[in-house]
Chains A and B, each alone.
Chain A
Amino acid sequence: MSVFRQISSVTAMNLRSMPQRIGSSSVIVVGIAGVVGVLLSVFALTRSLSDAVLATGSPDRAIVLRSGATGEFSSTLLVDAVATIKDAPGIARGEDGKPAVTADFVAAVNLFRKEDGARAGLSVRGVDPAVMAVRPEIKIVDGRLFAPGLRELIVGRSALQEFKDVGVGDGVQLRDGRWTVVGVFESGRDANESSLMTDSATLLSAYQRTAVNSVTVRLQSEGAFDAFKTALTTNPTLSVSVERETDFYRRQSEDANQIFGIIGIAVGVFMSLGAIFAALNSMYSAVTVRTREIATLRAIGFGAGGVIVSVLVEALILALIGAAVGAALSWILFNGNTVTLGDSTGSMVFDMQITPSLVVLGVLLACSVGFIGGLLPAVRAARLPVATALRAI
């Protein structure tokens, strides 16, 4: 009998006897379903958050911050610096022939979340009128754009969905009084959609400030970045750092994910270790129950390979069932859930997505747990001394 036929017949026999060991088999399934379900949910949370942050950046845009600043809040740029940046080479022009540049001033306002009534921060971004040329993804879907000079705001659809009293016609209390929401915008559910926007100059004067936080420009092409960056960083009158917007938001998403990353790793490591020991335990008992059967097979000439593979295949099949159950549970519980995370300086609204790539990750993890859990028992089964095993009860 060929090795392959040996393996397949032992495996088939093994699988047919699985229902008799339903108790210990289900231990593997439940253990792995738990690991995969929890990890998929935690990873879906971090992945969806970073996807939403990353979606804000575009490779044909660049963001200019004060040299050394790590984010917008720690950066200030004075009016003359903004003027110099606007003159730099490589900047695209809008339909009106003006450079596609927006100098943003970012403030924050306390509002109440719809879900739990908790007070949470929402950022208020003051932008230049040219913002539409810089960020063409911004579309007004209800009402109209704010008018410069008036206390008017537009609200992102995500912010509108999760926060109270930010609908068209509502008033929002900022530093110098009540501002009216006049429109709703969407921008592909990115970070900006979780904010309020208004005219930069109007907001600056309301807050009695003269400096903006950042300048964002749309470049003529992705390739124009180097020329733009060189022009600014070699200008002795400026002390700025220039980053491609995609790189900037990648950094922001890493920061945002730090906290959940720690939780995810701790949970992942402990749960996987627990599941590996559970799998080891039940595969050992599966092998023990079949001691006589395996010894008989060996006695009539079956090789060790067949026995090892049959145990491993059993463990892997159980692991895959567990992975499927876990993935299904996390999909049912969390897929499409809207999550709001934030602190007093701003919030981020996004949807949790259990993506196929996450499911693949879960399946790989399950297979590793199943493989490790099956390997030692399989080797032990193959090494059973035939004579002793046949006498075993």
Chain B
Amino acid sequence: MKYLPLIWAGLWRKRVSTVLTMLCVVFAFALFGLLHGFSAALDGIIDAMSDTRLRSMSRVNITQPLPLAHRARMQMVPGVDEVSYYNFFAGYYQDRRNSIQVGAIDIASFNAIYPDIKIEPQYIEAMLHTRNGALVGEDLAKEQGWKVGDRLPLGSAVWTRKDGAENWDFEIVGSYRSPSGRVPTSELWINYDYFDEARAAANGTVTLYFLKIHDSASAAAISERVDALFANSTNETQTQSEKDWVRAQIAQIGDIAFFVNAIILAVMFALCFVTGNTMMQSVRARIPELAVLKTYGFSNTAVMSLVLAESVILCSVAAALGIGIAAVISPPIYRQFGAGGLNLPVAVVAVGMGLAILFAIVSASLPALRAQRLSIVDALAGR
């Protein structure tokens, strides 16, 4: 600890160079936080999914609806505790470009299947008693400025009403949140019964089913049994665990991880160069000073550690700032991807700081070695 002033003085010896290097590292780690955070947030969503829940949808494609009658048959399969369902609504608010993720659900069975989503009991009660009621996700409410009690006129890009009207009126009777912070809260939920009765087409069908099962070990077997029930019908199903399904959805977007890692690698490589160069210059300029330190009795290792410590402090302070920037700008970006309500995963901070220290040591290793090997006589003589 007593060396801190010495390290500090070393860092601020060339103010401009230190500040510029720091800024460079700040932006590099902001980018790291943003990109790595994004893929970590996706992994977090997968982790938060349960493997004791299955999803079942049309084998042909998710755009193909399944009859609601499937539910009763699914419930008969041994090992299945409860079956709930969901219908896409493709909503928008005021402007067609302002699309809102809306799902028509059966609140009672849905709530039983999703204990990890927190809905206050009075909201569930209100939803059961208000036909055109709606539950709004915490983040969606924040984004759109909605609150419980608001009347909500929505349009749908797909569904018209039986009376030919294109506008749907809902009343926000409650909200839901994700205590773990890993499930997006960017949807609006409406009552399936109300929706199905009012829509002009495809009545009595759903987009997908949720199945709650006893234990995860039987997920594959139960999926097979469910699919076998409807095999060779016009409405064949494709059932898999929620985790696998979400993983597959994310994989469809394309190879995100590859792009992210390639960019991070390029940035880190360039950064290593910049910091390494700064440290090298700084050591070169201070050779006589370092020699004086050695004359005073500082060991070779101590001098080397001083140089390394400077680099570590510079990089870790800058990395912390950079990751801070990433933490501020990440949530709005996640929202653009339909994952509103998520924050920069905490693990990213740990990985980032670890990386910063590793990388400070790597980039300062050559200058530090040079400082360690310095011979006092040569250095003082300016050779």
Contact = CB atoms under 8 A, between A and B. Distances in A.
Interface in A23-70: 23-24, 26-27, 30-31, 33-35, 37-38, 41, 68-70
B158 A267 contact: no
B63 A344 contact: yes
Contacts of B329: 266
Contacts of B28: 270, 274
Interface stretch (A139-147, A185-193, A279-287): A279-287
Interface string B261-284: 011001101110110011011000
Interface in B18-55: 20-21, 23-24, 27-28, 30-31, 34-35
By CB atoms of chain A within 10 A, which of B20, B234, B255, B270 has the most? B270
Given A34-B269, A121-B252, A277-B27, A284 B158 contact: no
A278 B266 contact: no
Given A343-B252, A344-B61, A344-B63, A281 B17 contact: yes
Contacts of B281: 23-24, 285
Interface in A66-97: 68-70, 73-74
A74 B90 contact: yes
Interface string A263-274: 000110011011
Nearest to A380: B16
Nearest to A272: B27
A221 interface: no
Contacts of B316: none
Given A277-B27, A281-B20, A26 B267 contact: no
B180 interface: no
A116 B251 contact: yes
B350 interface: no
A174 B235 CA distance: 10
B333 interface: yes
Contact of A281 (B21, B157, B270, B280): B21
The bracket for how many chain B residues form the interface is 35 or more
A262 B333 contact: yes
By CB atoms of chain B within 10 A, which of A34, A176, A259 has the most? A34
B274 A109 contact: no
By CB atoms of chain B within 10 A, which of A109, A274, A339 has the most? A274
Interface in B217-249: 234-236, 238, 248-249
27 contacts: A27-B273, A31-B270, A33-B270, A34-B269, A35-B270, A74-B157, A108-B62, A110-B61, A173-B236, A175-B58, A207-B64, A266-B31, A270-B31, A271-B31, A273-B27, A274-B27, A274-B28, A274-B267, A278-B20, A278-B274, A280-B20, A281-B16, A339-B254, A342-B254, A343-B249, A344-B252, A345-B61
A274 B24 contact: yes
Nearest to B156: A74
Interface of A: 23-24, 26-27, 30-31, 33-35, 37-38, 41, 68-70, 73-74, 107-110, 116, 118-121, 173-176, 207, 258-259, 262, 266-267, 270-271, 273-275, 277-278, 280-282, 284-285, 339-345
A259 B337 contact: yes
Contact of A110 (B31, B60, B254): B60
Nearest to B23: A277
Contacts of B90: 74
Contact of B64 (A37, A68, A69, A107): A107
Interface in B326-366: 329, 333, 336-337
A274 B22 CA distance: 10
A41 B258 CA distance: 13
A107 B158 contact: no
By CB atoms of chain A within 10 A, which of B20, B64, B234, B249 has the most? B20
Contacts of B97: 70
Contact of B34 (A35, A116, A175, A270): A270
A119 B252 CA distance: 7
A266 B333 contact: yes
B71 interface: no
A70 B157 contact: yes
B39 to A, nearest CB: 12
Given A23-B280, A31-B270, A73-B63, 16 more contacts: A26-B277, A30-B269, A33-B270, A38-B266, A68-B96, A74-B158, A108-B62, A118-B248, A120-B252, A175-B60, A175-B64, A262-B336, A271-B31, A273-B27, A277-B27, A345-B62
Nearest to B332: A262
A110 B281 CA distance: 58
A270 B30 contact: yes
For the complex of A and B, list the 8 residue pairs with the smallest distance between their C-beta atoms, beginning with the closest. A74-B157, A34-B270, A274-B27, A281-B20, A270-B31, A108-B61, A277-B24, A277-B23
A131 B274 CA distance: 58
A176 B58 CA distance: 12
Contacts of A119: 248, 252
Contacts of B251: 116, 118
A343 B17 contact: no
A267 B262 CA distance: 12
B241 to A, nearest CB: 14
A267 to B, nearest CB: 6
Nearest to A281: B20
A47 B96 CA distance: 25
A344 B249 contact: yes
A200 to B, nearest CB: 17
A175 B31 CA distance: 45
A176 B232 CA distance: 9
B253 interface: yes
B277 A266 contact: no
Given A110-B59, A278-B270, A284 B254 contact: no
Contact of A284 (B20, B234, B280): B20
